[in-house]
Structure 1
Amino acid sequence: MTYYIIADRFLLENEERKKGYLEVKNGVFGEFRDKIPENSEVKDWSGFMIAPGLFDTHIHGIKGHDVMDGTVEAIKEISNTIVQLGVTRFLPTTLTSSDEILEQAIKAIVSAVDSGLPGAQSEGIFLEGPYFTDKHKGAQNARYFKNPDEAEFKKWQELANGTITKIALAPEREHAIDFIKEVSKQVLVSIAHTDADYECCRHAVDNGARCYVHLFNGMSGLHHREPGAVGAALTDSRCYTELICDGHHVHPILASMTLEIKKDKLILITDCMRAGLMPDDVYYLGEFPVTISNGIAKTETGSLAGSTLKLIDGIQNLQKWSNRPLHEIWHLGSLSTAASIGKADKFGSIKSGKVADYVVLNSNLTVIATAVDGVVKYVRDEIPIKF
């Protein structure tokens, strides 16, 4: 099936174009054209902008559902909700927990994906933990922290049918370096919830780690005599660096500074938990109660506990703070995230030959419609469908 999209503005991979036709053939982007053959099928989004589908590589839940619920329903509801926010791909993200609960969550993700997700599609599982350390535990449950174990990971990967794509750990834990050497051959090993110093982090990267999770949060900070994990993340061009741009986790000035340093190795994520899109109240993140006040999630001890951020809002925030072009910032939530897990050849930008995931936006960057694999999965209720 072939159709053409008409719109006022297109955020292509390397440029922004105005007016024209974008070809979609069998779920894949074709060429951008000024004219199309007669009698072609057209999806008319005149008056709107077309951007790549967003890719959230770190999301726990939203709208009352969480990956750690361990149910197929939760994964499907997350998929269906985030596609309405312009997200077309995601990594369902776990938390540190008992083996029993973690394994149930893995099985639920696999079952949900196998039976078909209704909206955004999973591109693998992100295991956030359980190989962390206490000092920067955040909302992770230290009761279940332990040393990395290759045999254990292999068991989980087999349970996941090989779909674990990313894992986060503290590199100072015993056996961590040997674990990184082996596991980084198959997944993205990330550094998180760690008190490791600069040298330890560099050693982990030398042995295969390639990402830092929610920079500045859950890690040893930057000091002029000990750069810490933050300094290691900022100064190592080999590594991707996650950032939560909600204005609470990281000051806007530091977010802009990180962009200047990391450039396209910066990846925007949400770290959203079940309270996303929900009213202020008390919710659970894993086994911990989390109070939401003015959209900010905190544990009983006052630690930030994930976020309620929408990825598109993080993009708008960083663009405002940095005053950079929209297509540059947008790609930090689509192309850079895809690249971080080795999938930039398939997802993350509008380019001929890539999967046709796209978002239709108005001038305020409100999501009007979202398509996955070239199929429109969501259209905003008040917008008349033009095709």
Structure 2
Amino acid sequence: MIIRNGLVFGEDGLYTSKDIFIEGGRIVSDKEGLSDRTSIDASGLKVIPGLIDIHSHGAAGYDFSDGSKKGLVEILKYQKSQGITSYCPTSMSLPEQMLMKAFKTAADLEKDEKNARIVGINMEGPFLDVVKKGAHRAEYIKKPDIEMFKKCNEISGNQIKIVTLAPDIKGGEKFIEELQNQVVIALGHTEADYETCIHGLKKGANHITHLYNAMLPLGHREPGLVGAAFDCENCTVELIGDGVHVHPSVVRMTFQLFGSKRVILVSDSMRATGMENGKYDLGGQTVVVENGKATLTDGTIAGSAVNLFTCVKRVISMGVPEGMALLAATRNPAKRIGIYHDTGSLTAGKRADIVLTDQNLNVLEVL
């Protein structure tokens, strides 16, 4: 297949008018030897890599933590339709057996190219600080448990790519030391101070779960986790771009502070994404969705009700350069979870995870 005359988004964050050649589901360097010379005229269109959401609990009425194969398929189907081609289903804090059931569902799922691909699992709970639990249920939160993580990872088919840890909880340092080479360890859901957080990052953690949310605010004398993340150059930070979790001014500031290589846009979406306003469930708690905002009955923000592509467009509307926003949803997450050799940009040898959009980034076709 040949995609002709499109504006192709490059690894440098710029668009170039050129053709893309595809053979066997992979991008190739030229048209020589193409068995399929079907052509798509992309004149006037943008050609971008499929987005990669590494933090999303669900969509289309389903949640990964339900442990439902049918539900997970529907989530993946929805994501692909919205231009998200690679996906990390994300768990909540739940009893061990419920988590094991969800993780096994991901391991047993048959691949279907019509849907988004599972490229890893994000284990957000239960190793959190109950004081900063956010939308997680307090009774399911527990101290870092290395053996529990290993069991969950094994039943998932070793697909857990990210695990969130509160570094101020007893056992956190040992957890980081033992598992840092097996999984991306993210700090989050914590009231830890700067010193505790910087210690955890120097020990081997290298990622931050939804920056600003469920942590101490950045203070000029007490910078907390935000300041620690900034001071560690190998640390990436998630940013929920729905316009609800983080103020537009802080979104713009974050891209300036952390630059084009360290910010990863995520949706943190829950089952109400793609659905109407109403009441939904998240980790056994009632969530009310109204005018695009999802909250628990006590007013706590409970994930988002929008997909990652919507997040990209919203942060662009806030003043973030388009190239930076797209890199934060393609290249950066791919690099963080170790799949950039396979996807995340439109270069020869990689999967043909391609989205065609109009000039305003409205999705027209997902290949």
TM-score, length-scaled by structure 2: 0.95
The answer for unaligned runs of 5 or more in structure 2 is none
**Aligned position for 2:7:** 9
- Counterpart residue number, 1:375: none
After superposition, the Cα gap between the structure-2 partners of 1:126 and 1:17, relative to the gap in structure 1 and judged at 3 Å, is closer
Check 1:117–1:102 CA distance in 2 against 1; reply closer, same or farther (3 A cut).
farther
Cα distance in 2 for residues equivalent to 1:22 and 1:181? 44
Partner-residue secondary structure (3-state), 1:40: coil
Measured in 1, the distance between the counterparts of 2:107 and 2:100 equals 11
Pair 1:319-2:316 in alignment: yes
Matched, 1:224 2:233: no
Contact 1:76 / 1:118 at 8 angstroms: preserved in 2?
no
Task: Give the corresponding residue for 2:67.
Answer: 70
Flag the 1:256–1:280 CA change in 2: closer, same or farther, 3 A: same
Aligned-partner SS, 2:132 = coil
Query: CA offsets per residue over residues 52-80 of structure 1, 9 Å max, x none?
Result: 11000001000101101111111110110
Query: Which of 53, 56, 60 pairs up with 1:56?
Result: 53
The one-letter amino acid of 1:213's match is T
One of 58, 75, 79 as aligned partner of 2:76: 79
Q: Which moved more, 1:288-297 or 1:336-345?
A: 336-345
Q: Paired residue for 2:237?
A: 241
Q: Report if aligned partners of 1:131, 1:168 keep a CA contact under 8 Å in 2.
A: yes
Written as runs of structure 1 = structure 2, the 5 A alignment for 1:1-387 is 3-14=1-12, 16-31=14-29, 40-112=37-109, 114=110, 116=112, 118-263=114-259, 264-324=261-321, 326-371=322-367
C-alpha change, 1:368 and 1:190, in structure 2 (3 Å) is same
* Inter-CA distance 32–210: structure 2 relative to 1 (3 Å threshold): farther
Q: Number of matched residues? A: 366
Q: Calculate percent identity across the aligned residue pairs.
A: 33
CA distance in 2, matches of 1:75, 1:88: 14
Q: Deviations over 1:73-131 (max 9, x none)?
A: 1111011001111000010100001112111111111112x354641000111111100
**Would you say the 8 A contact 2:286–2:297 is kept in 1?**
yes
The farther-off stretch of 178-187 and 7-16 is: 7-16
More displaced 10-residue stretch of structure 1: 36-45 or 134-143: 36-45
C-alpha distance in structure 2 between counterparts of 1:182 and 1:314, whole Å: 35
Q: Is the 8 A contact 1:267 1:333 kept in 2?
A: yes
Instruction: Determine if contact 1:234/1:258 at 8 Å carries over to the other structure.
Output: no
Task: Write the distance in 1 (CA, Å) between the matches of 2:262 and 2:26.
Answer: 26
TM superposition shift of 1:32: 6.9
* Residue 327 of structure 1: how far off its partner (Å): 2.6
Offset of residue 321 of structure 1: 2.1
The CA deviation at 1:20 is 2.8
Cα shift at 1:323: 4.5
SS in 2 for 1:322: coil
What SS is found at the alignment partner of 1:6?
strand
Is contact 2:23-2:36 (8 Å) kept?
no
How far apart are the structure 2 equivalents of 1:235 and 1:168? 19
Q: What RMSD over aligned residues (CA atoms) do the two structures have, in Å?
A: 1.9
More moved, 41-50 vs 158-167: 41-50
AA in 1 matched with 2:41: D
Q: 1:100 to 1:43 in 2, by over 3 A?
A: same
Per-residue Cα deviation, 1:11-55 (whole angstroms, up to 9, x for no partner) = 12225444431111222212378x999993322333321101100
Give the drift of 1:342: 1.7
What SS class does the counterpart of residue 22 from structure 1 fall into? strand
Letter paired with 2:236: Y
CA contact 2:252–2:320 (8 Å) conserved in 1 = no
Structure 1 distance, partners of 2:61, 2:178, is 37
Contact kept, 8 Å, 1:72 with 1:108, in 2: the verdict is yes
TM-aligned CA distance change 1:249 to 1:39, over 3 Å: closer
Q: Which runs of 5+ in 1 are unaligned?
A: 372-387
146-155 or 23-32: bigger deviation = 23-32
Determine the C-alpha separation between the residues in 2 that align with 1:37 and 1:248. Answer: 46
Q: Secondary structure of 1:297's match?
A: strand
Structure 2 match to 1:379: none
Measure how far apart 1:272 and its partner are: 0.2
